[in-house]
Structure 1
């Protein structure tokens, strides 16, 4: 592999430096570097970050290749600056056995646009009744460490306790989709003023908060790790903050769309805004931003949920829930967190690379941009601003809530272990 010299990059948003990549590794970081025969990338003050890591991606393969595949999903990831993604288990068949998680892992290895780490199901078939083969999935070639029934809540407290006890043995983590099912029967959007005016079934905040409260107490009792998926309410923030103050091993994620969008958008009845958990109020959005800034919420995760056109282009009640997010996540975080002064670029690297890699134990990712580290990197033109056009997405699906919206920032280059997967905004 040839050498690559990145000239004049603002590493983590700091002063411009040169970065020399030699093979799969960062060889040197400093001023006025020279390397004979190296390919030179003129960064011109663009921001260089460690490759992004997404702890919550739906790649749909096997079973729903009409909406996404491992190939198209990882191409979308590379376009968005990601070098590793964790693939959720709600596939067909469900990723609840060593065989299925190894299939997903091997597909990621073959395509090479980013590393793919499968997430194993907590329960067989996501049915919430019997623990899946957690140990076998961990011991497989995929080396699963994160388990989730995402899309469904592990609502049985006994099953949840057993899962926490089981993964504790090998340092794994259970990622909970916090949704009390009895409190959300028929729910279509956030429960509040807007749902009352529109006559749509309300999704109360307490349906999320009650599960989080239960699970942090179970994690404390067991002494195990629990991760809260797509936290969306101000009340949930306070519960996680309280749990962390007690030393409970809880981490939490927020999605880009919950940092930017509110339930007021549902007034359009456009199903592109239908998502699980639902878009909440402006008060919730502001609380989520503050919590991400102060570290109560550990990471940003996309919950990239692709759907084919026919599953979204229909009446609201019949539409599928979910939004694509891999290719717009960094731009939304720049808009909501960096442009507002809540985070600097080092903070973005921490929330979108370092901590997700630590939670999921993604070896070689989320590492410092320094000599001797793997060359998993992304270069961002932070001065760019333009309209989102889903026609140019690498994802197979187009269900983005940002179509036509102007957002800042553009990923120009992504390197996975020194190999360029994105150059000048185009996939290699």
Structure 2
């Protein structure tokens, strides 16, 4: 059984030192207000290409022989591995071909092309792309660089663990997102070699629980579906090489659902001023949702593994989180069809300190009697109590009010 060694990770750190960012690991006062103990956030989204993938990709490229460098490399990736490999291959003057799913996030496709890679889009999943990678390897002599199931890639990702041990010497728990398992395998190897008492907790999207199901089955298993907001960790099968590291070194694997991922992205944006993608936010979600057992003496590091999120998605996440938090609301107010009633409703909302974002005035509601009209309001508020106060005041004026979901 091929297993990563701590000395491989130490060598990788020396090899890639000048080409990657030693990311910060600041304390999170916002998380400390929500859960027991102290918390630090490892800001891997600050890497040059926006994710931890810089480390493994560069280490692999630097380990290639002259023939492989001259022939070029190829990989299948939904985005983060693609960008990292493309960027570092360009720096090292190595030709790079990336196979991406047809529905990969647009920002990741554009960035990968921008870094100089030849991008081929095919299929719905990475598994579809791997078939093309195999053909290009055979027919064109390209060297495949796997996104996670490669010891050199795993060693590069493991350098995160070495940095955390130096930055947070009193560490007790590290929480790591899991996709194919390369990052957590590397981090667990590095951390457990020096501090076997430290807990290594993995986090997956509940819609893509490959590691959890594989550990339960005693071997890597294939998932039929892996559709999740956390596209960076949506992998249908964890690696054959990564699996034994998870089985031997990871203390627990927990699952986070889509709403919890959304809340974590919003929390990091609002409270930490960090723009983090879904796959990078699951570690914080595990803490926010109380999924990890922690005490007042624990010192926990959450890996924020990537920040390559589509800005259109950020907008939807913000709106959804504000709705869930009661800071956006939609009300239908039924009033008499007389001049002045629309002004009365909007004036009351303003007096109560809410902001009207949208107004729609209609007589077409089927359950509204002749002589009455419906006013649909989208309002920005301070929270559920504020909404309730506004609804009460509107009803006191004799209006029917319904809160829409």
Q: Structure 1-normalised TM-score?
A: 0.24
Q: Which has the larger Rg?
A: 2
Higher relative contact order (CA 8 A, sep 6+): 1
